[in-house]
Chains A and B, each alone.
Chain A
Amino acid sequence: MTMIEAINDALDIMLARDPDVVVLGEDIGFFGGVFRATAGLQAKHGKTRVFDTPISECGIIGVAVGMGAYGLRPVPEIQFADYIYPGLDQLISEAARLRYRSAAEFIAPMTVRTPFGGGIFGGQTHSQSPEALFTHVAGLKTVVPSTPHDAKGLLIAAIEDNDPVLFFEPKRLYNGPFDGYYDRPAKVWKGHADAVVPDGHYTIPLGKARTVREGEALTILAYGTMVHVASGVVESLGVDAEIIDLRTLVPLDIEAIEQSVRKTGRCLIVHEATRTSGFGAELSALVTERCFYHLEAPVERVTGFDTPYPHSLEWAYFPGPVRVGEAIERLLAAD
């Protein structure tokens, strides 16, 4: 399956299993979504379970909070993560705090799905990675899958979770893995080991990282598209790196991180998002605080630059193989 098919399958399964699950968003009903993630779901489950909304991100998230208060399990879609900002007040002030401020009288068991990340010539408003805005908010969970297998299992787990979850889908990975070599032919998921997706219901627990590759020389912490970029670089350099796909940013699998960095003594953090106050800063601080005496080199961050996401200069901006490779070599050279 492609990641899109895996997401569609997860939604289909949850709509069939739980009559309280509803899917809503712009263009997601009859049309099936601009990325086809909800294709066929309205025809199969009906217009009151899967429906189009007005173009109002704040409205979409606001009504989803109210639906959750009633007892439904809404799965709103925001067409691009770049357009989630009108909904921030409802996410930060309401969804995230509903359980806390009501002492659990009311909850917001919603999963906000939204395509994110760059690498598709999306320019400033179809490429952003705003995860750090959400990891900073107490009460929200933040998930980023990197494979079709994980996307399905994590999405089902997110929908079943009773806390509000931001589910960021790297749109560059929808149809195939991407290692950052934009000038080579695009790859497809077909035939890829991580594209083997079990039938039916299964979950991947939130808060558990995945070791993509075991290694001794250094630890690479990544999520989303950057898991594949890092894997490609590690393979081409022939480095014995341990690559950890975080999968969930909050709650974070701190044990997996600590265990790996204490073993390797070196840590590289990679994400597409801009650098300053990005999630990498939190990861770097945690690694430094908790693994300081095991570190043999400064923790490095490879990220997007601190600029808006450019259109024509996309491949100069994107943290591709050159930037990742040089950081790996710096880390290994340090002593």
Chain B
Amino acid sequence: MTMEAVPPAGANRPVLALHVPEPRFRPGDPVDFGFLTIPPAGAQPRPDETCAPAETFPLCTDLVRVLGDDDQAHGPWDPRLSADGMRTMLRLMAMVRVFDGRMYRLQRQGKTSFYLKCTGEEATSVAATMALDAGDMIFPSYRQQGCLIARDYPLLEMVNQIFSNRADKLKGRQLPILYSAREVNFFTISGNLATQLPQATGFAMASAIKGDSRIASAWVGEGSTAEGDFHNALTFAAVYNAPVVFAVVNNQWAISSFSGFAGAERTSFAARAIGYGIAGLKVDGNDALAVYAAHAWAADRARLNHGPTLIEYFTYRVEGHSTSDDPSVYRAADEGTGWPLGDPIARLSAHLIAIGEWSAEAHAAMLTELDGEVRTAIRAAEANGILGHGLHQPDTTMFEDVYETMPWHLREQMAQALHERAVKYPPEVQP
């Protein structure tokens, strides 16, 4: 065919058009989430943990919900937790929010360089972690501080890390909030997105190779599902039937990009599981009981050698991406308050009140108590130093742990650093 045989654009073929996704609301727009279909709580079937992956397909586009508008628990996914269990869950979620609030203020006061809240997403980490065993390895992204708090990791250690002070177990090497806590099976957080997903698969494969009973659970934002590692992880997990639970926290926003740029306009994130031949669930991420039930279902499935599950927790990022972000320049201001799935802490609290196991007064008292705990931890951490105030780890620690033993070139560079320190701080001006 010659070039002339191609009809010009618009002749008798449609002109091709590039589709560039656009969020429904920009700054100043009125917000109406009426387009979202929110099914009633309790209406979703709960298949057996050993079901074939394809059986979960309807649940990948539905929304698993337990807590209804009447504040009661409904349907087959109700995990039937004790009142004590739910109060613990509520307390942990509230602790995450109180901690976030205080840390955000510390960043604004210049006591640390950076912070990142998870407001509105507390259930997706806290309730999910409560559904795991203590020995299961968590592979978090940077918005899963709730996993650490749910495993009773000391607040003091978290604040020390945020301050990069002399008590920071990571020796000031890591940006604030990129925690690592092996003692509670919380994997070292990387700044590189989605890399933890194939690593979680590998950990789960290793557990299976050794005939262990531990599983792995990894978290990722919906934006990072676009990374190749999402595909790698799901492929390997499916091929080796690895005992791993993947949680996609779909909070609708990846910094300034709405979920449409990760493909959300075409299908759900949970539905991607089916193409890999693994089970998928789409879950109300602001319903702590549904999150707990879904994660427990997937963990049991993995433990029973029925392989991996991909869970999409449908939620909303109420705050900016981080302390370096201002969401008012790219999205409507009242999106968070208009979000139809509400607030995870308020919903669980209302449920406990509705069943006569909690009260507004108890809730208020709990918040005061949690704030006291966080302030105590901050005071203790400040005694170990805050960022830039000199009470950090010795300069020599910069060269340690690059390798197991320090090679000659690092020993030489360490000597240089020590020399520079001696020049900058002669004995008479030593702090």
Contact = CB atoms under 8 A, between A and B. Distances in A.
B141 to A, nearest CB: 14
Given A59-B235, A66-B205, A102 B409 contact: no
B233 A62 contact: yes
A290 B204 CA distance: 48
Contacts of B210: 70, 72
Contacts of B205: 63, 66-67
B216 A66 contact: yes
B399 to A, nearest CB: 10
B431 interface: no
A254 B408 contact: yes
Contact of A66 (B181, B190, B198, B228): B198
B309 interface: no
Interface string B219-238: 00000000011001101100
Nearest to A90: B195
A62 B229 contact: yes
A90 B229 CA distance: 9
A60 to B, nearest CB: 9
Contacts of A65: 198-199, 202
Contacts of B95: none
Contacts of A97: 190
Interface string A71-101: 1101000000000001001100110011111
A162 B405 CA distance: 10
Contacts of A254: 408-409
B19 interface: no
Interface string B199-213: 111111111111000
A217 B431 CA distance: 55
Taking each of A48, A67, A102, which has the highest tally of chain B beta carbons within 10 Å of its own beta carbon?
Answer: A102
Nearest to B408: A254
A54 B180 contact: no
A56 B236 contact: yes
A70 B187 CA distance: 10
A334 B125 CA distance: 69
Bin chain A's interface residue count.
35 or more
A99 B355 CA distance: 49
Contact of A104 (B137, B192, B228, B401): B401
Size range of the interface on B? 35 or more
A139 B403 CA distance: 6
A55 B180 CA distance: 31
A175 B150 CA distance: 57
A332 interface: no
Contacts of A89: 192, 195, 229
A97 B403 CA distance: 9
A94 to B, nearest CB: 5
B174 interface: yes
A166 to B, nearest CB: 14
A11 B231 CA distance: 30
A242 interface: no
A58 B173 contact: no
Interface in A281-318: none
B198 A90 contact: yes
A69 interface: yes
B188 A58 contact: no
Contact of A102 (B139, B180, B202, B229): B180
A106 interface: yes
Given A59-B235, A101-B173, A66 B402 contact: no
B170 interface: yes
A58 B209 contact: no
B182 interface: yes
B198 A62 contact: yes
A162 B401 CA distance: 11
Interface in B155-193: 169-171, 173-174, 178, 180-182, 187-188, 190-192
Contacts of B137: 69-70
A102 B170 CA distance: 6
Contacts of B195: 62, 89-90, 93-94
Contact of A67 (B206, B403, B404, B407): B206
B393 to A, nearest CB: 9
Contacts of B52: none
A99 B236 contact: no
A70 B239 CA distance: 19
A246 to B, nearest CB: 14
A103 B180 contact: yes
B173 A100 contact: yes
A237 interface: no
B201 A66 contact: yes
A52 B207 CA distance: 18
27 contacts: A56-B236, A58-B198, A62-B202, A62-B233, A63-B198, A63-B205, A64-B202, A66-B198, A66-B199, A66-B201, A66-B204, A67-B209, A70-B206, A72-B206, A74-B202, A90-B195, A99-B402, A100-B173, A102-B170, A103-B170, A106-B182, A106-B188, A161-B404, A251-B403, A251-B407, A251-B408, A254-B408
| A-B residue pairs, 5 tightest by C-beta | A66-B202, A62-B198, A63-B202, A59-B232, A70-B206
